[in-house]
């Protein structure tokens, strides 16, 4: 079960402030991006939305059903983001929205020039480890779970956009570039995670497969760097650059996902789920789980059953 990192909730509009109950829009304009906050307070179907620029959308509250690219549709929930190319029509259903359970979604329209500049910087100065591979926004991975890094950067960009902050435009541009980099790193990580068995020539895919197959064992950076035929410092640096997370943190996140899956098995105790996922310290496991998930492993299990 994937970990979802949810951006901070924004205050909802008061009823008298709403211009419409369906996709009420608040706009915060910056030089190279436009932050839109959409709220819907009643059930609706087939609401259409188009932007002139590429848009990164992130769900904050409630549930939508998104229809994209002509035929694809899926539930869209808090802790998830969707990338929509420019001029692509979104058709949105709000099956559960009402005044007590509104939806709230961020839509960040990104100027094409800053995207181009960010891609050029990465490909010139920080090329990918695999020959022939390059940085880009991959639209085959348009629906993704927010990483901790994406969530923190979105929260920071929202604060810059919505509050009276000195040098707002400069800070917004730096943060927007960081968000684009974090997004591409998360995409790269998700693509490898979803289909690592297909990327047989990719060294990091081989490492990911090894980690997944050996979560219950001790996994060292020395071992992983040897699998990649790279020095330990170079492996650590390249892994973090490509995926936006250190190899050590990646192993911890994969163990936490494994533990969440095992907690669904009522025949297994919480301590057994902890140790079977590769954690050696039960107290550390409880603290980590509570910090990431917001609930203890026992509370998480009760919610599942």
Asked if 209 contacts 196 with a C-beta cutoff of 8 angstroms, the reply is: yes
Tell me: do 160 and 263 sit in the same domain: no
Pairing of strands 44-49, 33-40: unpaired
What angle, 0 to 180 degrees and rounded to 10, lies between the N-to-C axes of helices 247-263 and 297-304? 50
DSSP for residue 254: H
Asked if 144 contacts 192 with a C-beta cutoff of 8 angstroms, the reply is: no
Tell me: do 44 and 110 sit in the same domain: yes
Tell me: do 159 and 237 sit in the same domain: no
Tell me: do 77 and 136 sit in the same domain: yes
Mean pLDDT by 10 residues, the chain (305 residues): 76 92 95 96 96 96 93 90 95 96 96 94 88 86 89 95 92 96 88 64 83 92 92 91 90 93 92 95 94 90 83
Residue 198, pLDDT score: 56
Residue 196, pLDDT score: 54
Residue 148, pLDDT score: 85
**Domain containing residue 29:** 15-194
In a domain, 148, yes or no: yes
Chain centre to alpha carbon of residue 146:
2
Residue 72, pLDDT score: 80
Tell me: do 205 and 108 sit in the same domain: no
Exposed e or buried b per residue across 284-296, where buried means at least 16 C-beta atoms within 10 angstroms of its C-beta = ebbebbeebbeee
Reading the block at residue 55, the tokens are: 């848009």
Tell me: do 62 and 137 sit in the same domain: yes
Tell me: do 146 and 22 sit in the same domain: yes
How many other C-beta atoms can be found within 10 angstroms of the C-beta atom of residue 48? Answer: 10
Residue 101, pLDDT score: 94
Tell me: do 98 and 164 sit in the same domain: yes
Reading the block at residue 278, the tokens are: 């590769």
- Among the three residues 136, 161, 194, which one is the final residue of a domain in this structure? 194
Asked if 60 contacts 7 with a C-beta cutoff of 8 angstroms, the reply is: yes
Tell me: do 105 and 228 sit in the same domain: no
Q: How many helices (H) and strands (E) does the chain have?
A: 10, 10
Tell me: do 212 and 121 sit in the same domain: no
């Amino acid at each position: 079960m994937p970990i979802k990192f949810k951006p901070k909730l924004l205050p909802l509009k008061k009823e008298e402030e709403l211009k419409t109950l369906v996709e009420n829009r608040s706009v915060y304009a910056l030089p190279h991006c436009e932050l839109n906050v959409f709220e819907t307070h009643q059930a609706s179907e087939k609401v259409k939305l188009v932007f002139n620029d590429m848009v990164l959308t992130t769900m904050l509250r409630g549930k939508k059903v998104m229809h994209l690219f002509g035929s694809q549709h899926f539930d869209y929930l808090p802790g998830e983001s969707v990338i929509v190319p420019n001029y692509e029509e979104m058709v949105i259903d709000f099956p559960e929205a009402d005044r007590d359970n509104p939806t709230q979604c961020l839509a960040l329209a990104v100027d094409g020039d800053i995207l181009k500049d960010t891609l050029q910087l990465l490909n010139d100065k920080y090329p990918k480890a695999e020959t022939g591979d390059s940085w880009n926004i991959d639209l085959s991975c348009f629906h993704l779970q927010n990483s901790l890094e994406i969530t923190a950067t979105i929260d920071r960009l929202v604060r810059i956009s919505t509050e009276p902050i000195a040098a707002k435009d400069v800070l917004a541009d730096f943060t927007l570039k960081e968000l684009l980099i974090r997004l591409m790193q998360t995409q790269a990580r998700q693509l490898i995670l979803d289909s690592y068995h297909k990327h047989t020539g990719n060294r990091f895919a081989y490492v990911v497969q090894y980690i997944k197959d050996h979560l219950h064992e001790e996994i060292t950076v020395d071992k992983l760097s040897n699998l990649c035929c790279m020095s330990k410092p170079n492996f650590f640096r390249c892994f973090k650059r490509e995926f936006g997370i250190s190899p050590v943190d990646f192993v911890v996140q994969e163990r936490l996902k494994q533990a969440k899956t095992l907690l669904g098995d009522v025949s297994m105790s919480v301590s057994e789920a902890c140790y079977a996922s590769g954690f050696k310290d039960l107290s550390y496991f409880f603290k980590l789980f509570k910090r990431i998930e917001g609930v203890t492993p026992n509370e998480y299990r009760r919610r599942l059953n």
